Amino acid sequence: MNEELLTGGNTHGAVVRVDETVRRPTGPWTPGVHALLRHLEAKSFDGSPRVVGIDSENREILTFVPGDVVYPDHLDLVMTDEGLVAIATLVRKFHDTVSDFDSPVAYTWSDRASDTHLVGELVCHNDLAPWNLVHTPDGRWVFIDWDLAAPGPRSWDLAWALLTFIPLMPGDETDHTTITHRLTLFRDAYGAAQMNSDVMDVAVSRCQREANLIATLGGQREPPYDRLLAEGHFHIWSRAAEHVKTHAGRWKKALS
């Protein structure tokens, strides 16, 4: 069995491709993630990989999704109006599809990207970002890397999507007129009525939580957060929190 190491992730263990499948380490979250993915498959949601099973090395087996991973080499795909609308539409379709997922409390979920103090409105992907998005040869958009999925408010998912797809990060050479335009496009494609009014405040919280997680676990020398801390990711997310907080008033108007 030939295994090809897949690269690009920041927080996951060794992920390999075997023929048309992907093999990934399992964890306490795996039964819940597999139940979630099977629910999405049963509801004909085509924006996620399919569960195949568990292999002899106790790795989960998922279908391999062919295509271009958007980040870092294909960001142009989502910087167009059409691309952004497609992503916002896919996120809304995912949230609608998962809204009747049964008994999320029956499973153990990862706490690495969720906030257990918040109400679990639905099961969020928790890392809806260009580095987890594949554009397939047949024109579909598929989100991968579901290990961080966990119950939370939809604004927790939406905030991360806005941070990474608009994008709202400091250092991105995007003027405020363009940001306002893209926020409005995303809002309209997702559905203004379902765009929580607190999403920009949640974006600040998500940046702060990411910075704190890297500082805490990195300081304890826990992989891979020790590497993320050494690479300066704590400062990246700390600056992002201040950046969004500074401009939140302007950006909230575009979402209202």
Same domain, 210 and 92: yes
Q: What is the pLDDT of residues 173-188, one digit of tens each?
A: 678 899 999 999 999 9
Q: What is the pLDDT of residues 78-112, one digit of tens each?
A: 999 999 999 999 999 999 999 999 888 899 999 99
Contacts of 177 (CB under 8 A, 6+ apart): none
Same domain, 50 and 89: no
Same domain, 112 and 152: yes
Same domain, 14 and 107: no
Same domain, 24 and 142: no
Which domain range does residue 47 map to? 4-63
Helix, strand, or coil here: 68? strand
Same domain, 10 and 51: yes
Mean pLDDT estimate for the chain: 94
Nearest CA to 47 out of 144, 113, 138 is that of: 144
Same domain, 150 and 229: yes
Residue 172 has pLDDT above 70, yes or no: no
Same domain, 20 and 107: no
Same domain, 108 and 231: yes
Same domain, 195 and 103: yes
CATH number at residue 208: 1.10.510.10
CB distance 150 to 114 below 8 Å: yes
Q: What pLDDT shows up at residue 3?
A: 85
| Counted domains in the chain | 2
Q: How many angstroms separate the Cα of 51 from the Cα of each of 100, 136, 209, 255?
A: 19, 18, 30, 36
CA contacts within 13 A on the Cβ side of 136: 14
Q: What pLDDT shows up at residue 116?
A: 74
Beta-carbon neighbour count of residue 1 at 10 Å? 7
What is the reported pTM?
0.95
Residue 138 has pLDDT above 90, yes or no: yes
Give the distance from CA 12 to its chain's centroid. Answer: 13
Same domain, 110 and 237: yes
Give me the DSSP letters along 53-108.
EE-TTSEEEEE---SEE-TTTTTHHHHSHHHHHHHHHHHHHHHHHHTT---GGGS-
Helix, strand, or coil here: 7? coil
Q: What pLDDT shows up at residue 13?
A: 58
Same domain, 87 and 185: yes
Q: What pLDDT shows up at residue 239?
A: 96
Nearest CA to 150 out of 118, 111, 208, 117 is that of: 111
CB distance 190 to 204 below 8 Å: no
